[in-house]
């Protein structure tokens, strides 16, 4: 059926609620809007759904949530009675309609005879992942759109290990969803009846206690925290789900001076005090910095709505506050954990850490210094979760730390997604240790740079919304890939991005690395899974410079990442700006 035909059904059929019908009737004369809402179904990827809230098949609403839940329910049922009895955990954050979407999902699962553990209030991503393992559930669902603007929401699916579902499971769920192309065929149990029957069970404080107890086992250098318990920190949950768990763990480890930004403390899906609730944006911490100046805090940090990302700003010696990047915080935490454990004698043999192909390359030098293996994965924390499962849970290695450049960090194995709550605890502990050593966190960062070399990384995003925007992103990547495949020599490669000459290019979609270092192209296989990513190896002082292009899996963006490394700070910073300018112009031209 055409978009217009589906629109007619949704705007007239009494199956759909009055609010939905009225919203659609209001756009009856807007063919462009109708096309965008109905030209496709909201895509279910390896992480689930994410989209703009509203009526339509290409929007997230109660009906598309029910459809996704029906597909997941069929997948659980296909795995037998034990899977149904183990059931599914459902959590949600503070976004618009998150509680309502969580209840819809619970009703669909209950209708299929699947046990449901439904949170009794908003709880973050890491607690959803933890709860899957805590209840020995077969699956988990988190209603969230992470750090996206208020108009978005999402539906994130977890497997029985607490990690995001595998590609194979996602493909099976998507295939099941196709049976419900007509969302009117989905069915839901009565919520109150399912509660009374025990098919849906509310959970709450018992998980809070277990999660906090688990986090306390991950404390690094507890003695330094005791000595510096009066360190002053400011925290903002940015109207999200981190408020209670973050404050709970900081109190549990003995920190006495934790100030919470009052205007951003309570849940609010409109996120009224920020342009976007993303701690990657230093502006999101501005209220926290204002409070920090008043109380003389040493550290400011914030979590996004589902509390899987952490951004920080630290006080400098002149009394100002400097925001650190996700790469800088990840590098510092990696060094903090490995160095502290080495000195305490608790760093196990056969240990490993994980990061992604678009994160700082300085991690390798840090890991080598402590005899720890570094594993690189594709972008997305699901891949780090998989490495924990394979090499720690079912292997003979010991996971120490994982992070990605987009402000996601994880320590421990009881959570299998990025966890801003444990990150907040670790950052505060690291600040205590630095204060104990008579240094600031800025001093600590530069101590690492002086030891391993300077590294600067940035990312630039090109947003192209709607059906036309999606085509531009696809065509842009296809054009870059076609030009790469046409390269036969190093001279050809030099023209690829209109700037520095690539030493090699990795095409993760094709699974091929093109090496131009010897003049003519030589190819070899890549071992990571297939993904629509092009990574340009650019050499440089340490041979580590790079640029990377990949479409976002959750937003209508083409993201370009850069990394430059040098023994000299200014040289590295200048070269980064040059590469960023050249690569950005190249990509902008491809997108049109």
Interhelix angle 62-78/167-177, rounded to 10 degrees, is 120
Q: Which among 423, 339, 441, 424 has a CA at the least distance from the CA of 381?
A: 423
The pLDDT score that the predictor gives to residue 470 is 86
All structural domains of the chain = 40-203 (3.40.120.10), 212-452 (3.40.120.10), 455-591 (3.30.310.50)
**Residue 89: other Cβ atoms inside 10 A:** 29
Q: Which run of H or of E encompasses 124?
A: none
Summarize the confidence of residues 419-442 as an average pLDDT: 97
Read off φ and ψ for residue 127, nearest 5 degrees: -75, -30
Structure tokens at 120: 């009794």
Over residues 224-245, the mean pLDDT reads 97
Q: Which of 131, 146, 414, 531 is catalytic?
A: 146
Determine how many CB atoms are found less than 10 A away from the CB of residue 159. Answer: 22
pLDDT tens-place string over residues 272-286: 999 999 999 999 999
- For residue 24 the two structure tokens come to 């659609």
Distance of CA 434 to the CA centre of its chain: 28
Task: Name the pTM for this structure.
Answer: 0.94
The per-residue pLDDT for 246 is 98
67-87 pLDDT, tens digit per residue, is 999 999 999 999 999 999 999
Nearest one of 359, 300, 334, 396 to 562, comparing CA atoms: 359
Q: Give the number of other CB atoms < 10 A from CB of residue 461.
A: 12
299-303: strand order across its sheet? 257-260, 232-236, 299-303, 310-315, 321-324
Indicate the burial class of 2 (C-beta count within 10 angstroms; 0-12, 13-18, 19 or more): exposed
- Output the pLDDT for position 469: 86
d(CA 458, CA 171): 33
Give the pLDDT score at 519.
86
**Which neighbouring-strand residues pair with 563?**
457, 546
Average pLDDT for 34-60: 92
Clarify whether 146 is annotated catalytic: yes
The confidence score (pLDDT) of residue 587 equals 87
What's the pLDDT score for residue 63?
98
For the chain, report the end-to-end CA distance as a whole number of angstroms. Answer: 31
For residue 555, pLDDT beyond 80 = no
**How large is the average pLDDT for residues 562-574?**
93
Residues 246-264: pLDDT tens digits?
Answer: 999 999 999 999 999 999 9
- For residues 177 and 186, the answer to whether their CB atoms sit within 8 Å is no
Q: With a cut of 90, say whether residue 552 has pLDDT above it.
A: no
User: What's the pLDDT at 45?
Assistant: 77
Q: Would you say residue 409 has pLDDT above 90?
A: yes
pLDDT over threshold 90, residue 338? yes
pLDDT of residue 97: 98
pLDDT of amino acid 489:
87
Residue 544, number of CB atoms within 10 A of its CB: 20
Range picked from 43-52, 215-224, 517-526, 546-555 for highest mean pLDDT: 215-224
Please report the pLDDT score of residue 48 as a whole number.
87
Strand partners, 338: none
Long-range contacts of 17-23 (CB under 8 A, 24+ apart): 17/62, 20/55, 20/61, 20/63, 23/54, 23/55
More confident residue, 50 or 586: 50
Asked if the model's pLDDT at residue 500 lies above 90, the reply is no
Q: How far apart are CA 133 and CA 413, in angstroms?
A: 10
Q: Mean pLDDT score of the chain, rounded to an integer?
A: 95
pLDDT at 308: 97
Residue 554 has pLDDT above 80, yes or no: no
Separation in Å, CA 532 to CA 178, 287, 474, 559: 24, 38, 10, 11
Least confident of 387-401, 428-442, 472-486: 472-486
- Laid out side by side, the sheet with 557-566 consists of 454-463, 557-566, 545-551, 534-539, 504-507, 512-515, 522-525
Over residues 6-35, mean pLDDT: 97
Answer for the pair 100, 210: CB distance below 8 angstroms, yes or no.
Answer: no
Q: How confident is the model at residue 493 (pLDDT cuts 50, 70, 90)?
A: confident
Averaged over 353-368, what is the pLDDT? 96
The DSSP element (H or E) to which 272 belongs, if any, is none
Residue % of the chain over a pLDDT of 90: 88
Residue-wise pLDDT for 149-187, tens only, equals 999 999 999 999 999 998 899 999 999 999 999 999 999
DSSP letter at 279 equals: T
pLDDT of the residue at 588: 87
pLDDT for the residue numbered 311? 98
User: How crowded is the C-beta side of 204, counted as CA atoms within 13 Å?
Assistant: 5
Helices (H), 198-242: 205-216, 222-227
**What is the mean pLDDT of the segment spanning 425-435?**
98
């Amino acid at each position: 059926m055409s978009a217009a035909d589906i629109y007619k059904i949704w705007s007239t059929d009494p199956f759909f609620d009055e609010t939905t019908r009225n919203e659609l009737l209001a756009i009856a004369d807007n063919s462009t809007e109708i096309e965008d809402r109905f030209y496709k179904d909201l895509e279910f990827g390896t992480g689930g759904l994410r989209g703009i809230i509203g009526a339509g098949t290409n929007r997230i609403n109660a009906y598309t949530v029910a459809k996704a839940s029906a597909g997941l329910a069929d997948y659980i049922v296909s795995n037998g009675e034990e899977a149904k009895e183990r059931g599914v955990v459902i959590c949600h954050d503070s976004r618009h309609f998150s509680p309502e979407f969580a209840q819809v999902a619970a009703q669909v699962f209950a209708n299929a005879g699947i046990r449901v553990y439904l949170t009794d209030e908003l709880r973050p991503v890491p607690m959803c992942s933890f709860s899957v393992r805590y209840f020995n559930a077969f699956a988990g669902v988190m209603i969230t759109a992470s750090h996206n603007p208020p108009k978005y929401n999402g539906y994130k699916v977890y497997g029985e290990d607490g990690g995001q579902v595998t590609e194979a499971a996602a493909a099976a769920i998507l295939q099941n969803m196709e049976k419900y192309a007509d969302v009117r065929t989905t069915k839901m149990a009565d919520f109150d009846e399912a509660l009374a029957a025990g098919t849906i069970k509310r959970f709450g404080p018992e998980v809070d206690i277990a999660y906090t107890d688990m986090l306390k086992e991950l404390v690094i250098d507890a003695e330094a925290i005791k000595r510096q318990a009066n360190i002053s920190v400011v925290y903002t949950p940015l109207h999200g789900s981190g408020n209670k768990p973050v404050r709970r763990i900081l109190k549990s480890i003995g920190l006495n001076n934790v100030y919470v930004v009052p205007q951003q403390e309570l849940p609010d899906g409109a996120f009224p005090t920020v342009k976007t609730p993303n701690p990657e944006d230093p502006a999101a911490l501005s209220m926290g910095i204002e409070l920090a100046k008043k109380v003389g805090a040493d550290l400011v940090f914030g979590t996004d709505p589902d509390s899987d990302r952490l951004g920080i700003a630290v006080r400098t010696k002149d009394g100002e506050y400097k925001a650190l990047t996700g790469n800088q915080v990840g590098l510092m935490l990696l060094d903090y954990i490995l160095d502290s454990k080495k000195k305490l004698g608790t760093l196990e043999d056969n240990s490993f850490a994980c990061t992604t192909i678009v994160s700082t390359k300085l991690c390798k030098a840090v890991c080598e210094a402590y005899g720890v293996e570094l594993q690189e994965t594709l972008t997305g924390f699901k891949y780090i979760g998989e490495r924990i499962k394979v090499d720690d849970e079912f292997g003979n290695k010991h996971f120490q730390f994982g992070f990605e450049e987009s402000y996601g960090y994880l320590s421990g194995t009881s959570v299998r997604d990025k966890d801003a709550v444990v990150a907040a605890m670790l950052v505060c502990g690291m600040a205590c240790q630095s204060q104990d050593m008579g240094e600031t966190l800025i001093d600590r960062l530069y101590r690492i740079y002086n030891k391993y070399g300077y590294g600067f990384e940035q990312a630039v995003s090109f947003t192209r919304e709607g059906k036309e925007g999606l085509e531009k992103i696809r065509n842009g990547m296809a054009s870059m890939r076609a030009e790469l495949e046409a390269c036969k020599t190093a001279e050809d490669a030099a023209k690829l991005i209109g700037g520095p000459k690539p030493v090699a290019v990795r095409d993760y979609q094709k699974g091929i690395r093109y090496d131009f270092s010897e003049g003519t192209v030589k190819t070899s296989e890549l071992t990571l899974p297939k993904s629509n990513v092009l990574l340009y190896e650019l050499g440089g002082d340490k041979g580590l410079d790079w640029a990377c292009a990949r479409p976002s899996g959750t937003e209508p963006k083409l993201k370009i990442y850069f990394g430059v490394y040098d023994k000299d700070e200014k040289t590295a910073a200048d070269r980064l700006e040059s590469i960023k300018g050249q690569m950005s112009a190249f990509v902008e031209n491809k997108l049109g």
